[in-house]
C-alpha cells in the first residue's frame, strides 16, 4: 500500500484526515476501468491509498492496473473469485488493517473528484455518532442523470427495497445525508472498527450490501448515504462463479432468507418465519397460476439452498448475534411493508403542487399554465400510475360495502362450498352432486375457484369476495394489456381499459356477483385481441405454436366459465375471416386453438355439447334495446343514460382511427355492432337456443368498443398538434369530452351506487321459508322470458319452458340456491327434459297435480317473483291442488304438498311402486305422499336407515353404475329418468361404482394443462 | 379504409344502432311456442254438499270423453280427509257413488285423472228432514265466494258449507248481507280457521236470525276454499246452491220442473247500489219477470222478489247501472221441497247436465236457455251409468232470447243418465229432478257443468 499523492482540487486543501484504503476489484477491463482509475487519481482527498485486485480478468485489465498503480499495488487472482472473496482477500492484508477506513470500489465505478473526501466527511458529521459505513449517491454511468441508488431498506422478509422509481431522474430530490439500512457496495466506505467487528461480506451471498450493512447496524453502527459523494456506476454484474447465472428471483430470495435467518433476533424470527412460509406458498400459487413456472422453481430452489446451508447459516448467525448491540425494533424504521409500496409519484405529485403554490404567489397567470403543463406531462409519462391511482380510489369506494366478514348474498352470486375441497370434490367426482345428477363432468373452472379459495387462506367466503372485488380490476388490467398490445400506446390504453372497467356491463356483473361473467370479462379482451391477431398481417411474435397454445388456454378459461364464450369467439373469427388480412393463417390458428381448448376442457365438452348445445344458452339480459345499446344487461349502478358514453366514444374512436389502426377499428366496429344486435336478439328469443347468450355477446361488444376507443385515441393523440386543424382535432376534443364525462359519471355511479350483492341480501320471505323447512330439498325457480334472473339465491335460469303466453324460464337448485360448483354447467341429462315436461304440463293448465309431477325431482318449493312471471303462469301454478301458497311478501312461494326428499326410502305399496316405475306423466301425477325416510348425501352417494321403507328413490339421473351396498339389487329407472332400488336393506348406502374413469380423466386433464401451461410459460428474468 | 370512409362508417353504425333499437322496441319479443299437448291431464272437483244425520250423499261423475278416466274420491268433514275410493268412469258414461254426508259440513273432493269429467252432487235428507239438493261441483278452488240463498226465518235453517281440501289451513272472513240491515261481520267469523282437509258448516241463523234473504261473502285470507249454501225447511225441503266466485252485471237463472212459483234473490256486495231489471225467457217472447223493472237496490244489501215462471224457462237479471251482483233463483217444487240455482253469468257451447235426483221413480227435465239474438242448434246425448252412451242423440233448436225444455221422451230413456249438450252457440243448460211419489215428492235443480273446448276436440 502506498499513500496517494495529494492532488489539487477546486475546493480542497491538502489536509490529511483519516487514512482511506480504496480496494478496487476489477473483474475485467471494461471501458469504465480507465475512467475509474482516472477518477481515483483525481480524488481531492489526501490520505487515500489504492489496492487493486485483478479478479481473474482475461483481457488487458491487469496491464491497465499495473500501468496506473504499479506492480506492487495490484493483486492477481488466477480465477475469478467474485467481489466478496476479493474484498475478503484484500482485507486480510495488513495494509487494510492499517487504514482507518477501507473504500470498497468496483472496477466500473467512477468517483467524482471529491467523492472520497465527502464520504470521509460524512463519518464525522456533527450529531451522527458511530457512522460505520458511508455510501455514495450512485448514478448511471451512461446516463448520469438517472439515479441508481440512494440507499436501501428491506421488507420484513429481507428483500431489499429501493425508494427509487425505474430510471428516476436525479433532480436533487435526495440531496441530503440520509441514514439508511444499506448503501450500494460499488463505492462503500467502511470504518476499520466495523469490518473488524462484523467481518466482511458473507461470501455465500456474494457481495450483498444489504446483509453487510444490516449486520453493521445490528452491531450498533450507522449507515449513511451522502449525496455529496457521487459515483457513476456501470451495469450490475452478478457476483457469482456459476457458468449459468441464476435468476434475479432466485438470488433475491436466497439472500433475503439467509439474511433473515442470520440477522433477526429470536422473537422476530418466531413470527417472520411462519408468515414468510405462508406468503411463500401464496407466491408459489400465484406464480403457478400466472404460468411463471421457472420463477416458482427458482423460489423453491432458493428455499432449498437455505435448507441445505442451514448449518453454516446458523454458525454465522451466532457470530452476528454475538456482536449485536441493538434490538430488531430499533431498525424497524428501515423496513417497508412487504406488500404495499406506495409509489413515490405521490410525493412527486405533492411536490408539483407545492412548487405550484409558490409559483401562484408570484405569477397567477403563469401558474395555471405551468400546473397544466406539468400535470399533463406527469400524466402522459405515468398514465398507468395515474389510472391505477384513480382506479384504487374508485374501487375502494365502490367495494366498501362488500368488505364485511359475512358471506355475500343477493343478486345472482352463487353459493360457494364451505371449504375449497368442495370444488375439487365436485370436479373429480364421477357423478354430479347437484341438480338432477348425471355423470357429465363439472367445469375445469372449479379447479381455479378451488385454487383461489385456498389462496384466500382456505376461506371460500373470502374467495367469493376476492373474485368479485379483484375480478373487475384484473379484467381492467388485462384489457389494458390487450389494448396496449394492439395500439402500442399506454395512455390511450389506460383510458380504454378504464372505459371497460366502468362499463355498464362490468358494473352489472359486479353488482349481481356474476362470478362466471367476471371470468369471461377478464379473458375476453386478450381473447379478442389474440383472435384478431391471428388474422393480422404480421406473424405472431411468439411463434405459431406457442400462440396457438396460448390462445387455446385463454379460450379454455373462458369456455370453462361461460361456455357461451364460444359464440363470441366464433363471431370474432367470422369477421376475421371476412375482413382479415391473413385469412388462411387465422383460420388455421383459431381452429387449432379451439381444438386445443377442447382438449384442455375435454371432460367438459360433452356437458357443453349435450342437449343440442343447451350448454351455450343463457336467458339473461335486458329487453329494452336502448339499454342493450349501452351494454346494460340488468339493473345495477351505472345502468343509466351516461353508460351510453361507451358506444358513442367507440364511434368517435372509429372515426378517428388512422394509419394501420383503420382496418382493425373498422373490424372491431362491425364485430361489436353484430354482437350488440345478437345480444338483443338473444334476450328477445329470436335466436336458436344454442346461439342464445346475451352476456357473451355483450362482453364481446364491450371489448370491441373499448378497442375502438383505444384505436381512436392512439391515432388522435399522436401528432395532433402537427396536423392541420380539422375533424381530427374536433373529433378528438369531442371524444375527450364524451370519455371524460362518461368515465366520471360511471365512476360516481360505482362509488355511490348500491350493489345487488352484499350482506343479507336474500329476500326475507325466502329466508324465513327456507329456514323453516327441514332436511334436503330442491327448489324450482321461475322467471319470465324477459331476461331477468331469479330472486336471490336462485341464480340464473337454466332453461326455458315454452308455453305460449305462459312461457317461463326455470332453474332447479337445492335449498342453497345457485352453486358455484355448477359454474358453466347447465342442467343437463335426462332429468332436465323431465322437469321441463312437468313444468310444461302445469303451465298448459291441463293438470292440477303439479306437486306430484315435481315430487320426483325432490322439489319442495316453487318460487317466483311477483310482477316478473306471466300472470297466466302464476295462475297455472296457483291452481295446482298440491302446491300450497306460502304467505310471503314480494315472492310467490308454493310449497309442494307431495313431499319427497331428493333421496329417500319410501314405504311404497304396489300402486306407488307402479307409479315410481312409470315414465308417463299421466301416471306420475297420481303419485301421493307416502311415509319416507330421507337419506343423507355424502361424497360417494347417499346413506341412511330404511326405517321400514322398501323402495329407495334418488332424484339423480339413472346410471347403471349406482350400487346399493350390501345388496345385489340393480338400479332401476324411476319416473323415467331417476334412480331407484327395490327391496332395500335396513342400512341403505347408495354409492357410485364408476369413479375410476373420471379419476383417470382428471389426471389426464391435469397433465394436459400442465403441458399447455409449460408451453406458454413466462420466461424468467435473468 | 380512408378517413372519410371511417367517418361514414361511424355515422352509418350510429344510424343503424338508432334505427335498429327503434325497430327492436317495436318488434318486441318473439312469440313463444305454444306448449306441446300435455300427457298429464287432471282436475279436482270440490263438492261442498253438506249433510246431516241419516243423510245420503251421492257424487255423480260423467265422462263425455272417448277414454275412461279415473276418479279418486276423498270425504271431508270435521275430521281429516279420508279416501272414499277410486272409480273408473267409462267413456261416454257416468258413475254414481255414495259418499259420507252424516254431518252438516260434509263435503267431498274428487280428483280426476287421465281426462276430463263433470262432477256434481245430490244430497237426500234423512231422519226428521226431507228433501233433496243438487248442484254441480266446482273445479276452481278460490279465495272469494259469494252466495245469496240463505233464509233464517221461522222453520228454515241455512248454512254455509266451507270446505278446504288442501294441505294448508285456510283462514276465512265471513260477511253476511241482509235486506234491511248493515252487513254483519261477526268477530267469531273473522279470521276463522278452516283446517287443512276439513269442511265446516256455518249456521247463518246464529248470526242473522229472521232474515228473508241472507247473502254471504266468504273471503279466504289464506288458503283456498269452496263454498255453498245449504237450506233446510223443517216442514220438508232441502236446497243446495254452489257459491259463485265472480260477481257480474248479468245473470242467467234457468228453471224447470217446478210449480212456477219462484223467488229471485240478489246480493249487492259492493258499496255502490245498482239499478237492475229481470226478464223471463221461455218459449214465448221475453217478458218482464214479476215486478222487476228498473229496480233500485242499495249497496251491501240483499233483495228477494217473487216471480212466476212457466215451464222450462229462465230469469235473466240485468244490471243497468251500478256495481256487480250475485243472483239466485229459488223455485218451488210439486211437493214441499224446493230447489235453487245460482245460475251463470257466462253461457257456453257445451254442457254436461248431471241428474238432479237419485233413486227410483225419478223424473228428469232439462232446460236450454239461449239469451243470444240468433237461434242455436243443440245436440243432446245421454251419458248413462256404465258408459257406452245410447248411441242416439237428438237435436233441438233453442230460439233466440228464449228457453226450451228437452223432449221428455228423450230424457225418459234413462232418467238417471247425465246429458251431454253440444250447441253451435252459447247457451245455458240446467237439469232438474223429481223423485218420490205422493206426498213425498222431492225436487232439485242443478246447473250443468260447462265442458272445456279441448275435451270434445
Chain B stretch 137-176, residues whose beta carbon is closer than 8 A to a beta carbon of chain A: 140-141, 165-168
pLDDT average, residue stretch A246-252: 84
Query: Are B346 and B249 contacting, i.e. CB atoms less than 8 angstroms apart?
Result: no
CA distance A248 to chain B (A): 47
Q: Tell the burial category of A359 from Cβ atoms under 10 Å away from its Cβ (0-12, 13-18, 19+).
A: middle
Task: Collapse the DSSP code of A319 into the 3-class scheme (helix H, G, I; strand E, B; otherwise coil) and give the result.
Answer: helix
* Pick among A925, A929, A930, A976 to test the B interface (most B CBs inside 10 A): A925
Indicate left, alpha or beta for A57 from its phi (over 0: left) and psi (-120 to 50: alpha): beta
Q: For chain A, what percent of residues have pLDDT higher than 70?
A: 92
Please judge whether A629 and B21 are an interchain contact, meaning their C-beta atoms are less than 8 angstroms apart.
yes
Q: Tell the burial category of B28 from Cβ atoms under 10 Å away from its Cβ (0-12, 13-18, 19+).
A: exposed
Please judge whether B166 and A887 are an interchain contact, meaning their C-beta atoms are less than 8 angstroms apart.
no
Strands B393-398 and A101-106 come out as unpaired
Q: Does B26 touch chain A (CB under 8 A)?
A: no
Contacts A677 to B, Cβ<8 Å:
20
Query: Are A305 and A252 contacting, i.e. CB atoms less than 8 angstroms apart?
Result: no
Please judge whether B6 and A654 are an interchain contact, meaning their C-beta atoms are less than 8 angstroms apart.
yes
What is the tens place of the pLDDT at every residue in A706-737? Answer: 999 999 999 888 666 666 677 778 888 899 99
Angle CA(B333)–CA(B339)–CA(B341) in degrees, nearest 5?
140
Q: Tell the burial category of B169 from Cβ atoms under 10 Å away from its Cβ (0-12, 13-18, 19+).
A: middle
Of the pLDDT bands very low, low, confident and very high (cuts 50, 70, 90), residue A6 is very low
Query: Are A430 and A420 contacting, i.e. CB atoms less than 8 angstroms apart?
Result: no
Task: Collapse the DSSP code of A137 into the 3-class scheme (helix H, G, I; strand E, B; otherwise coil) and give the result.
Answer: strand
Q: Where are the beta strands (DSSP E) in A78-169?
A: 101-106, 109-111, 131-140, 147-149, 153-155, 160-161
Please judge whether B17 and A920 are an interchain contact, meaning their C-beta atoms are less than 8 angstroms apart.
no
pLDDT at site A335: 78
pLDDT at site A244: 58
pLDDT at site A342: 46
pLDDT at site A129: 83
CA distance B87 to chain A (A): 14
Cα(A859)–Cα(A861) distance, rounded to whole angstroms? Answer: 6
What is the tens place of the pLDDT at every residue in A436-462? Answer: 999 899 999 999 999 999 888 889 999
Contacts A883 to B, Cβ<8 Å:
none
Q: Tell the burial category of B360 from Cβ atoms under 10 Å away from its Cβ (0-12, 13-18, 19+).
A: exposed
The low-confidence residues of chain B, meaning pLDDT below 70, are 1-3, 360, 389-391
Please judge whether A887 and B222 are an interchain contact, meaning their C-beta atoms are less than 8 angstroms apart.
yes
Please judge whether A654 and B10 are an interchain contact, meaning their C-beta atoms are less than 8 angstroms apart.
yes
pLDDT average, residue stretch A966-983: 92
Cα(B55)–Cα(A749) distance, rounded to whole angstroms? Answer: 73
Task: Assess whether the previous peptide bond of A793 is cis (omega < 30° from 0).
Answer: yes
Residue A954 predicted with pLDDT over 90:
yes
Of the pLDDT bands very low, low, confident and very high (cuts 50, 70, 90), residue A812 is very high
Question: Which residues are A556's β-sheet partners?
Answer: none
Cα(B342)–Cα(B345) distance, rounded to whole angstroms? Answer: 9
Residue A341 predicted with pLDDT over 60:
no
Residue A375 predicted with pLDDT over 60:
yes
Contacts A836 to B, Cβ<8 Å:
none
Of the pLDDT bands very low, low, confident and very high (cuts 50, 70, 90), residue A151 is very high
Please judge whether B7 and A727 are an interchain contact, meaning their C-beta atoms are less than 8 angstroms apart.
yes
Please judge whether A920 and B39 are an interchain contact, meaning their C-beta atoms are less than 8 angstroms apart.
yes
What pTM value is reported for the model?
Answer: 0.82
Q: Measured between CB atoms, which of B10, B20, B21 is closest to A651? A: B10
Contacts A680 to B, Cβ<8 Å:
24
Cα(A864)–Cα(A144) distance, rounded to whole angstroms? Answer: 72
Please judge whether A673 and B14 are an interchain contact, meaning their C-beta atoms are less than 8 angstroms apart.
no
Q: Tell the burial category of B224 from Cβ atoms under 10 Å away from its Cβ (0-12, 13-18, 19+).
A: buried
Please judge whether B21 and A843 are an interchain contact, meaning their C-beta atoms are less than 8 angstroms apart.
no
Please judge whether B35 and A727 are an interchain contact, meaning their C-beta atoms are less than 8 angstroms apart.
no
Contacts of B47 (CB under 8 A, 6+ apart): B59, B99, B107, B108, B109, B110, B119, B120, B121, B137, B138, B163, B226
Query: Are A773 and A417 contacting, i.e. CB atoms less than 8 angstroms apart?
Result: no
**What's the mean per-residue pLDDT of chain A?**
89
pLDDT at site A340: 43
Cα diameter, chain A:
118
Is the ipTM higher than 0.90? The answer is: yes
Per-residue HEC secondary structure of B276-330 comes to EEEEEECCCCCEECCCCCCEEECCCEEEEEEEECCCCEEEEEEEEEECCEEEEEE
Of the pLDDT bands very low, low, confident and very high (cuts 50, 70, 90), residue A359 is low
Residue A934 predicted with pLDDT over 50:
yes
For the CA atoms of chain A, what is the radius of gyration? 35
Q: Does B223 touch chain A (CB under 8 A)?
A: yes
Please judge whether B40 and A847 are an interchain contact, meaning their C-beta atoms are less than 8 angstroms apart.
yes
Per-residue HEC secondary structure of B183-194 comes to CECCHHHCCEEE
Q: Tell the burial category of B55 from Cβ atoms under 10 Å away from its Cβ (0-12, 13-18, 19+).
A: buried
Q: How far is CA A220 from the centre of its chain?
A: 42
Please judge whether B39 and A922 are an interchain contact, meaning their C-beta atoms are less than 8 angstroms apart.
yes
Residue identified by cell 257416468 is: B94
Please judge whether A625 and B21 are an interchain contact, meaning their C-beta atoms are less than 8 angstroms apart.
yes
Contacts B222 to A, Cβ<8 Å:
887
Nearest CA in chain B to A676: B17
Sheet holding A987-992, edge to edge: A936-937, A941-945, A987-992, A962-964
Residue identified by cell 405529485 is: A349
Residue A913 predicted with pLDDT over 50:
yes
Give the closest residue to A553 by CA, choosing from A615, A601, A605. Answer: A601
Q: Measured between CB atoms, which of B25, B34, B166 is closest to A803? A: B34
Cα(B292)–Cα(B318) distance, rounded to whole angstroms? Answer: 10
Contacts B21 to A, Cβ<8 Å:
625-626, 628-629
Angle CA(A225)–CA(A227)–CA(A231) in degrees, nearest 5?
95
For the CA atoms of chain B, what is the radius of gyration? 25
CA distance A847 to chain B (A): 4
Q: How many CB pairs under 8 A join A and B?
A: 139
Indicate left, alpha or beta for B124 from its phi (over 0: left) and psi (-120 to 50: alpha): beta
Residue A970 C-beta-side C-alpha neighbours within 13 Å: 4
Q: Measured between CB atoms, which of B20, B44, B140 is closest to A677? A: B20
Contacts B28 to A, Cβ<8 Å:
684
Give the other-Cβ count within 10 Å of B303's Cβ: 24
Residue A10 predicted with pLDDT over 60:
no
pLDDT at site A166: 78
Cα(A755)–Cα(A743) distance, rounded to whole angstroms? Answer: 18
Of the pLDDT bands very low, low, confident and very high (cuts 50, 70, 90), residue A749 is very high
Q: For chain A, what percent of residues have pLDDT higher than 90?
A: 64
Element (H, E) at A877: helix A871-878
Indicate left, alpha or beta for B391 from its phi (over 0: left) and psi (-120 to 50: alpha): left
Q: Does B439 touch chain A (CB under 8 A)?
A: no
Contacts B166 to A, Cβ<8 Å:
881, 884, 897
pLDDT at site B110: 97
Task: Collapse the DSSP code of A430 into the 3-class scheme (helix H, G, I; strand E, B; otherwise coil) and give the result.
Answer: coil
Amino acid at each position: 500500500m502506498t499513500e496517494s499523492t495529494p492532488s489539487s482540487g477546486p475546493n480542497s486543501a491538502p489536509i490529511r484526515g483519516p487514512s482511506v484504503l480504496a480496494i478496487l476489484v476489477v473483474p475485467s477491463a471494461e471501458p469504465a476501468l480507465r475512467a475509474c482509475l482516472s477518477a481515483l487519481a483525481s480524488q481531492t482527498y489526501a490520505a487515500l491509498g489504492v489496492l487493486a485486485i485483478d479478479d481473474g480478468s482475461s483481457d488487458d485489465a491487469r496491464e491497465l492496473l499495473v500501468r496506473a498503480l504499479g506492480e506492487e499495488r495490484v493483486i492477481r487472482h488466477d480465477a475469478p473469485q467474485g467481489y466478496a472473496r476479493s474484498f475478503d482477500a484484500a482485507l486480510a492484508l495488513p495494509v487494510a488493517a492499517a487504514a482507518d477506513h477501507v473504500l470498497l470500489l468496483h472496477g466500473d465505478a467512477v468517483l467524482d473528484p471529491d467523492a472520497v473526501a465527502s464520504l470521509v466527511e460524512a463519518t464525522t458529521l456533527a450529531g451522527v455518532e458511530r457512522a460505520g459505513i458511508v455510501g455514495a449517491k450512485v448514478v448511471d454511468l451512461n446516463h448520469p442523470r438517472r439515479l441508481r441508488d440512494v440507499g436501501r431498506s428491506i421488507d420484513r422478509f429481507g428483500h431489499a427495497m429501493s425508494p427509487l422509481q425505474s430510471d428516476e431522474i436525479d433532480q436533487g430530490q435526495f440531496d441530503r445525508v440520509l441514514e439508511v439500512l444499506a448503501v450500494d457496495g460499488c463505492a462503500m466506505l467502511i470504518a476499520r472498527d466495523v469490518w473488524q467487528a462484523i467481518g466482511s461480506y458473507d461470501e455465500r451471498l456474494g457481495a450483498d450490501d444489504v446483509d453487510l450493512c444490516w449486520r453493521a447496524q445490528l452491531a450498533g453502527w450507522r449507515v449513511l448515504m451522502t449525496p455529496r459523494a457521487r459515483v457513476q456506476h456501470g451495469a450490475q454484474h452478478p457476483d457469482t462463479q456459476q457458468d449459468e447465472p441464476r435468476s434475479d428471483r432466485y438470488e433475491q430470495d436466497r439472500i433475503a432468507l439467509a439474511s433473515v435467518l442470520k440477522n433477526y433476533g429470536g422473537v422476530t424470527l418466531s413470527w417472520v418465519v411462519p408468515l414468510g412460509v405462508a406468503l411463500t406458498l401464496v407466491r408459489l400459487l400465484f406464480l403457478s397460476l400466472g404460468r411463471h413456472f421457472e420463477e416458482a422453481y427458482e423460489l423453491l430452489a432458493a428455499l432449498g439452498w437455505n435448507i441445505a446451508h442451514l448449518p453454516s447459516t446458523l454458525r454465522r448467525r451466532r457470530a452476528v448475534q454475538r456482536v449485536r448491540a441493538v434490538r430488531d425494533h430499533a431498525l424497524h424504521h428501515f423496513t417497508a411493508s412487504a406488500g404495499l409500496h406506495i409509489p413515490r409519484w405521490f410525493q412527486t405529485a405533492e411536490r408539483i403542487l407545492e412548487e405550484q403554490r409558490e409559483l401562484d404567489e408570484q405569477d397567477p397567470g403563469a401558474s395555471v399554465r405551468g400546473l397544466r403543463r406539468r400535470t399533463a406531462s406527469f400524466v402522459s409519462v405515468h398514465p398507468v400510475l395515474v389510472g391505477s391511482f384513480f382506479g384504487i380510489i374508485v374501487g375502494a369506494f365502490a367495494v366498501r360495502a362488500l368488505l364485511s366478514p359475512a358471506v355475500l348474498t343477493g343478486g345472482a352470486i352463487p353459493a360457494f362450498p364451505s371449504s375449497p375441497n368442495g370444488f375439487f370434490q365436485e370436479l373429480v367426482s364421477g357423478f354430479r352432486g347437484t341438480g338432477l345428477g348425471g355423470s357429465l363432468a363439472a367445469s375445469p373452472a372449479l379447479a381455479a375457484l378451488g385454487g383461489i379459495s385456498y389462496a384466500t387462506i382456505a376461506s371460500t367466503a373470502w374467495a367469493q369476495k376476492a373474485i368479485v372485488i379483484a375480478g373487475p380490476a384484473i379484467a381492467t388490467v388485462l384489457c389494458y394489456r390487450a389494448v396496449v398490445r394492439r395500439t402500442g400506446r399506454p395512455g390511450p390504453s389506460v383510458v380504454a381499459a378504464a372505459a371497460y372497467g366502468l362499463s355498464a356491463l362490468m358494473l352489472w356483473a359486479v353488482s349481481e356477483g356474476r362470478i362466471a361473467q367476471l371470468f369471461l370479462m377478464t379473458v375476453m379482451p386478450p381473447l379478442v385481441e389474440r383472435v384478431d391477431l391471428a388474422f393480422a398481417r404480421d406473424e405472431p411474435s411468439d411463434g405459431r405454436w406457442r400462440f396457438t397454445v396460448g390462445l387455446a388456454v385463454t379460450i379454455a378459461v373462458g369456455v370453462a366459465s361461460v361456455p357461451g364464450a364460444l359464440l363470441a369467439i366464433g363471431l370474432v373469427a367470422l369477421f376475421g375471416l371476412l375482413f382479415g388480412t391473413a385469412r388462411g393463417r387465422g383460420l388455421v390458428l383459431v381452429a387449432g386453438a379451439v381444438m386445443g381448448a377442447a382438449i384442455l376442457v375435454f371432460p367438459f365438452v360433452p356437458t357443453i355439447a349435450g342437449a343440442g348445445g343447451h350448454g351455450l344458452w343463457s336467458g339473461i339480459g335486458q329487453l329494452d334495446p336502448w339499454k342493450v345499446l349501452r351494454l346494460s344487461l340488468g339493473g345495477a349502478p351505472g345502468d343509466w343514460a351516461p353508460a351510453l358514453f361507451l358506444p358513442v366514444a367507440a364511434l368517435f374512436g372509429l372515426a378517428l382511427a388512422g394509419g394501420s389502426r383503420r382496418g382493425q377499428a373498422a373490424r372491431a366496429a362491425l364485430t361489436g355492432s353484430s354482437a350488440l344486435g345478437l345480444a338483443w336478439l338473444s334476450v328477445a328469443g329470436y335466436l336458436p337456443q344454442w346461439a342464445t347468450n346475451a352476456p357473451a355477446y355483450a362482453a364481446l361488444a364491450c371489448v370491441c368498443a373499448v378497442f375502438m376507443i383505444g384505436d381512436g385515441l392512439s391515432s388522435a393523440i399522436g401528432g395532433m398538434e402537427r396536423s392541420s386543424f380539422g375533424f381530427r382535432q374536433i373529433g378528438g376534443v369531442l371524444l375527450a369530452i364524451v370519455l371524460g364525462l362518461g368515465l366520471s359519471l360511471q365512476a360516481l355511479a360505482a362509488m355511490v351506487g348500491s350493489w345487488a350483492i352484499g350482506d343479507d341480501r336474500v329476500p326475507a320471505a325466502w329466508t324465513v321459508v327456507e329456514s323453516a323447512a327441514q332436511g334436503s330439498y330442491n327448489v324450482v325457480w321461475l322467471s319470465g322470458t324477459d331476461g331477468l334472473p331469479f330472486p336471490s339465491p336462485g341464480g340464473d335460469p337454466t332453461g326455458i319452458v315454452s308455453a305460449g303466453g305462459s312461457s317461463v324460464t326455470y332453474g332447479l337448485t337445492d335449498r342453497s340456491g345457485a352453486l358455484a360448483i355448477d359454474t358453466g354447467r347447465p342442467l343437463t341429462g335426462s332429468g332436465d327434459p323431465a322437469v321441463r315436461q312437468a313444468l310444461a304440463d302445469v303451465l298448459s293448465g291441463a293438470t292440477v297435480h303439479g306437486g306430484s309431477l315435481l315430487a320426483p325431482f325432490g322439489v319442495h318449493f316453487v318460487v317466483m317473483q311477483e310482477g316478473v312471471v306471466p300472470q297466466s303462469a302464476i295462475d297455472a301454478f296457483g291452481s295446482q291442488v298440491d302446491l300450497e301458497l306460502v304467505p310471503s311478501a314480494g315472492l310467490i312461494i308454493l310449497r309442494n304438498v307431495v313431499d319427497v326428499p331428493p333421496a329417500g326410502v319410501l314405504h311404497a305399496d304396489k300402486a306407488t311402486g307402479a307409479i315410481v316405475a312409470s315414465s308417463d306423466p299421466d301416471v306420475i301425477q297420481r303419485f301421493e305422499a307416502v311415509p319416507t325416510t330421507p337419506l343423507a348425501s355424502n361424497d360417494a352417494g347417499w346413506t341412511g336407515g330404511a326405517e321400514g321403507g322398501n323402495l329407495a328413490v334418488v332424484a339423480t339421473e339413472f346410471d347403471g353404475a349406482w350400487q346399493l351396498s350390501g345388496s345385489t339389487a340393480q338400479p332401476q329407472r324411476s319416473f323415467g329418468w331417476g334412480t331407484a332400488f327395490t327391496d332395500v336393506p335396513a342400512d341403505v348406502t347408495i354409492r357410485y361404482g364408476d369413479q375410476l374413469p373420471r379419476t383417470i380423466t382428471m389426471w389426464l386433464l391435469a397433465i394436459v394443462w400442465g403441458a399447455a401451461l409449460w408451453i406458454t410459460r413466462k420466461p424468467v428474468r435473468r | 379504409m380512408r378517413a372519410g370512409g371511417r367517418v361514414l362508417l361511424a355515422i352509418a353504425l350510429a344510424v343503424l344502432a338508432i334505427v335498429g333499437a327503434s325497430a327492436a322496441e317495436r318488434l318486441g319479443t318473439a312469440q313463444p311456442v305454444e306448449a306441446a299437448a300435455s300427457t298429464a291431464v287432471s282436475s279436482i272437483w270440490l263438492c261442498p254438499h253438506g249433510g246431516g244425520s241419516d243423510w245420503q250423499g251421492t257424487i255423480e261423475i260423467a265422462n263425455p270423453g272417448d277414454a275412461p278416466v279415473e276418479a279418486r274420491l276423498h270425504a271431508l268433514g270435521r275430521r281429516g280427509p279420508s279416501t272414499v275410493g277410486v272409480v273408473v268412469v267409462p267413456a261416454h258414461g257416468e258413475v254414481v257413488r255414495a259418499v259420507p254426508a252424516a254431518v252438516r259440513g260434509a263435503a267431498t273432493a274428487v280428483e280426476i285423472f287421465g281426462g276430463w269429467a263433470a262432477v256434481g252432487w245430490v244430497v237426500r235428507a234423512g231422519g226428521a228432514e226431507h228433501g233433496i239438493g243438487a248442484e254441480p261441483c266446482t273445479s276452481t278452488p278460490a279465495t272469494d265466494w259469494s252466495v245469496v240463498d240463505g233464509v233464517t226465518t221461522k222453520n228454515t235453517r241455512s248454512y254455509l258449507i266451507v270446505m278446504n281440501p288442501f294441505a294448508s289451513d285456510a283462514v276465512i272472513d265471513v260477511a253476511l248481507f241482509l235486506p234491511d240491515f248493515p252487513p254483519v261481520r261477526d268477530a267469531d267469523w273473522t279470521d276463522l280457521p278452516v283446517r287443512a282437509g276439513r269442511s265446516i258448516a256455518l249456521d247463518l241463523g246464529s248470526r242473522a236470525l229472521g232474515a228473508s234473504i241472507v247473502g254471504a261473502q266468504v273471503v279466504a285470507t289464506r288458503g283456498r276454499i269452496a263454498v255453498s249454501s245449504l237450506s233446510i225447511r223443517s216442514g220438508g225441503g232441502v236446497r243446495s246452491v254452489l257459491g259463485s266466485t265472480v260477481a257480474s252485471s248479468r245473470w242467467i237463472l234457468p228453471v224447470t220442473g217446478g210449480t212456477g212459483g219462484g223467488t229471485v234473490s240478489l246480493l249487492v256486495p259492493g258499496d255502490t247500489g245498482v239499478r237492475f231489471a229481470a226478464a223471463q225467457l221461455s218459449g214465448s217472447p221475453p217478458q218482464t219477470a214479476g215486478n222487476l223493472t228498473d229496480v233500485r237496490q242499495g249497496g251491501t244489501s240483499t233483495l228477494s222478489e217473487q216471480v212466476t215462471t212457466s215451464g222450462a224457462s229462465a230469469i235473466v237479471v240485468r244490471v243497468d247501472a251500478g256495481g256487480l251482483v250475485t243472483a239466485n233463483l229459488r223455485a218451488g217444487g210439486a211437493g214441499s221441497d224446493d230447489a235453487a240455482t245460482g245460475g251463470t253469468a257466462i253461457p257456453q257451447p257445451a254442457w254436461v247436465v248431471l241428474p238432479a235426483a237419485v233413486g227410483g221413480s225419478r223424473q228428469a227435465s232439462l232446460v236450454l236457455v239461449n239469451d243470444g239474438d240468433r237461434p242455436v242448434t243443440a245436440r243432446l246425448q245421454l251419458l248413462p251409468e256404465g258408459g257406452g252412451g245410447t248411441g242416439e242423440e237428438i237435436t233441438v233448436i233453442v230460439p233466440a232470447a228464449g228457453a226450451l225444455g228437452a223432449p221428455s221422451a228423450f230424457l225418459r230413456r234413462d232418467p238417471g243418465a247425465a246429458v251431454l249438450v253440444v250447441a253451435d252457440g252459447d247457451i245455458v243448460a240446467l237439469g232438474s229432478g223429481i223423485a218420490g211419489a205422493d206426498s213425498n215428492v222431492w225436487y232439485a235443480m242443478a246447473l250443468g257443468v260447462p265442458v272445456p273446448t279441448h275435451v270434445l276436440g
